[in-house]
Amino acid sequence: MSKVSDHKQSVALQSLAAKLAAAGPYGVFARHLLRRAPEAPALLAPSGAAFAVSGAPVGHFEVSFAWLFADTASDYAALIDLVVRGYDMPAYLPLSAHAEITNAIRGLSVGRDLFFALPASANSQENRKNGGDRIVPFGEADRLRLPEDMRDLPPPPDIWARMQPRFWALQRDGRLIALAEATVDDGAYAAIQQVHVAEEARRSGAGAALVSAIAAELRALRRTPIYICAADNRGSAALAGSVGFEVISELCCVAPSEQTTDADSADYC
């Protein structure tokens, strides 16, 4: 790991609460961490801009990426130098900042993610489930109930124990055929991501049925469901659109050149 600036300042994530509160859906991951671990460390770059997560395990969390919060292009450039080059950690920032930091990201891997939200007027369309479908909570003990091609998708047991993730599965005729994560929840927004459908069940509507049901569950908790996927994952984007989600923003993911920037590598239908 390369040396980072000696002028960085470590602070409690709580001290960034006002900045995170103003970030809208973009800040959902950082606010989720803030709810669960308010004393988690964050860093201030020399310019005073901030990123809100660190790379070390924090309580139940194991964070391997950063979310950047800054006011100017030069601040974002400083953060990229600190986080991506200094800590070898992928980092997210609003796509709108990308065009102004071309030189800062030269030589790094760059990808795009889509942020979707489900409008209040959208029908959750729970009737997508067929008569044999059930939406069930998924726990670590259920891993062996998944089809063999999906068993490596949930976090491994040691990380599961620390993160305490929240997964849901679609059960059809007694078998689990689709899986999605809905761990990230900041009290106002909750994110649906990492939607996987077993090969045998693709193009059967299983993914849409699962996402629709999770969205309905989140709405019952008075959360606005959001959905995140890589911009080049056309199947995932189409799935979100079919359920009623609409794109509200795009993100740029900047990573060390040897790392992938994909938000997901799942199979969707």
Domain ranges within the chain, ordered by starting residue: 9-106, 126-250
- Fold that domain 126-250 belongs to in CATH: Aminopeptidase (3.40.630)
CA distance to 34, 178, 229, 250, 265, per residue, from 232 (Å): 30, 21, 8, 12, 10
Give the pLDDT band (50/70/90) at residue 259: low
Question: 81-138 pLDDT, tens per residue?
Answer: 888 888 888 899 988 887 788 888 999 999 999 999 998 777 655 545 566 789 999 9
Question: 28-49 pLDDT, tens per residue?
Answer: 988 888 888 777 777 777 666 7
Question: 127-177 pLDDT, tens per residue?
Answer: 455 667 899 999 988 999 999 889 888 888 877 877 788 999 999 988 899
CA distance to 72, 85, 110, 173, 208, per residue, from 102 (Å): 14, 15, 11, 52, 37
Tell me the whole-structure pTM to 2 decimals. 0.83
* Rounded-to-integer distance, Cα 89 and Cα 237, Å: 26
